[in-house]
């Protein structure tokens, strides 16, 4: 049974507790809203805080034991000055969106719901379930726009020895990925190693693949340009009768190279223009 269906039912019934999806992860609900999600493939809040040196492993263990019964560990960490209220909320928010992306949509043999179970960190942000599904869908589409093939997602990241471009611009995250890529580690493992969420890491890997910086199995098929709308008979005058196979009309557009970097740039330009109307 897909975990999404179970989750939707729980949300509708206003459930409070933890939905365990075997070893894949856990979704924490409060009155039908999601307050935290953990996924085995993405760094948890605990892992993010220890990876960045905010807390030591033993410090984290002690905090968890102290707060296990009361489920107010987050507030305790804020009081102790480990991180600010805003940082805690942002960390929970980011980790939850990240985990949801990899956990949802998966088929889980026997998801178990434990009524009343709470996470030791407590509740720091709420997500409504349909909104969370929408965001996962948007992230999936964004990933496919960057590089429309999932082949790289589970393979080790291998930077190319020599690039064809003369000049490359990298983001800070892309730099970290390239530095840590040892031709053996997959994007998800890299994310855990450098203490970054898995989705941005995956996105950065696909973007670097599109820019020709990574060894790829084979280039994905270029995106097919959308078909022009079907002509309706007599809708508009046509210069030559009988020659309307659409080819002439299309040739007035500039050539699209099919190079993923070009397509990417066009998509980014379009998005920016649409948002800035």
Partner 1 sequence: MIGIEDCLSEAMAIPGALGAILVDHTSGTALAMEGLPDPERSAIGLSETFRATLDGLALSSPDGTVRIDDLIITTDHGYQLIKPMETMWDGPLLICLRLDRDRANLALARRRLDNISHELIAS
Q: How far is the CB of 262 from partner 1 (least distance, A)?
A: 15
Return the number of the residue (185 or 264) whose C-beta is nearest partner 1: 264
Query: Parallel, antiparallel, or unpaired for β 33-39 and 112-115?
Result: unpaired
Task: Compute CA 218 distance to the chain's CA centroid, rounded to the nearest angstrom.
Answer: 23
Q: How many CB atoms lie within 10 A of CB 76?
A: 16
Q: How far is the CB of 249 from partner 1 (least distance, A)?
A: 30
Contact, 83 vs 49, CB < 8 A? yes
Return the number of the residue (49 or 190) whose C-beta is nearest partner 1: 49
Q: How far is the CB of 238 from partner 1 (least distance, A)?
A: 37
Q: How far is the CB of 96 from partner 1 (least distance, A)?
A: 11
Chain positions contacting partner 1, by CB under 8 A:
43, 48-49, 51-52, 54, 78, 83-87, 89-91, 93-94, 97, 125, 135, 138-139, 142, 167, 169, 171-173, 195-197, 199-200, 203-204, 268, 271-272, 274-276
Return the number of the residue (6 or 76) whose C-beta is nearest partner 1: 76
> Could you tell me where the DSSP H helices lie in the chain?
3-12, 45-51, 57-67, 73-79, 85-103, 129-146, 172-180, 187-194, 198-210, 247-250, 260-275
Q: How far is the CB of 57 from partner 1 (least distance, A)?
A: 16
Return the number of the residue (10 or 35) whose C-beta is nearest partner 1: 35
Return the number of the residue (173 or 210) whose C-beta is nearest partner 1: 173
Return the number of the residue (159 or 200) whose C-beta is nearest partner 1: 200
Q: How far is the CB of 111 from partner 1 (least distance, A)?
A: 26
Q: How far is the CB of 158 from partner 1 (least distance, A)?
A: 22
Return the number of the residue (183 or 273) whose C-beta is nearest partner 1: 273
- Name the β-bridge partners of 214: 159
What is the residue whose two structure tokens read 């434990």?
Answer: 114
- Among 271, 118, 98, 270, which residue's Cα sits nearest to residue 195? 98
d(CA 198, CA 266): 26
d(CA 41, CA 102): 7
**Helix and strand numbers, DSSP H then E, in the chain:** 11, 4
- Among 225, 266, 273, which residue's Cα sits nearest to residue 249? 225
């Amino acid at each position: 049974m897909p975990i999404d269906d179970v989750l939707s039912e729980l949300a509708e019934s206003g459930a409070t507790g933890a939905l365990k999806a075997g070893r894949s992860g856990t979704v924490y609900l409060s009155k039908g809203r999601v307050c935290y999600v953990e996924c085995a493939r993405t760094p948890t809040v605990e892992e993010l805080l220890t990876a960045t040196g905010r807390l030591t492993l033993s410090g984290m263990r002690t905090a968890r034991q102290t707060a296990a019964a009361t489920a107010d560990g987050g507030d305790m960490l804020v009081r102790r000055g480990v991180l600010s209220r805003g940082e805690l909320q942002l960390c929970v928010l980011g980790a939850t969106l990240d985990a949801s992306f990899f956990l949802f949509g998966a088929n889980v043999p026997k998801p178990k719901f434990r009524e009343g179970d709470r996470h030791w960190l407590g509740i720091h942000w709420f997500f409504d379930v349909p909104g969370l599904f929408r965001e996962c869908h948007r992230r999936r589409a964004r990933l496919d726009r960057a590089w429309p093939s999932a082949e790289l997602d589970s393979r080790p990241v291998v930077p190319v020895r020599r690039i064809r471009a003369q000049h490359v611009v990298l983001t800070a995250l892309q730099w970290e990925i390239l530095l840590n890529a040892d031709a053996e580690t997959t994007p998800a493992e890299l994310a855990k190693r450098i203490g970054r969420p898995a989705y941005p890491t995956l996105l950065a890997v696909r973007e670097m693949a599109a820019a020709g910086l990574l060894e790829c199995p084979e280039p994905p098929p270029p995106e097919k340009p959308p078909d022009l709308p079907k002509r309706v008979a007599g809708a508009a005058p046509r210069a030559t009768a009988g020659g309307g196979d659409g080819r002439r009309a299309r040739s007035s557009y500039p050539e699209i190279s099919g190079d993923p970097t070009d397509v990417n740039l066009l998509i980014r330009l379009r998005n920016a223009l649409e948002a800035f109307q």
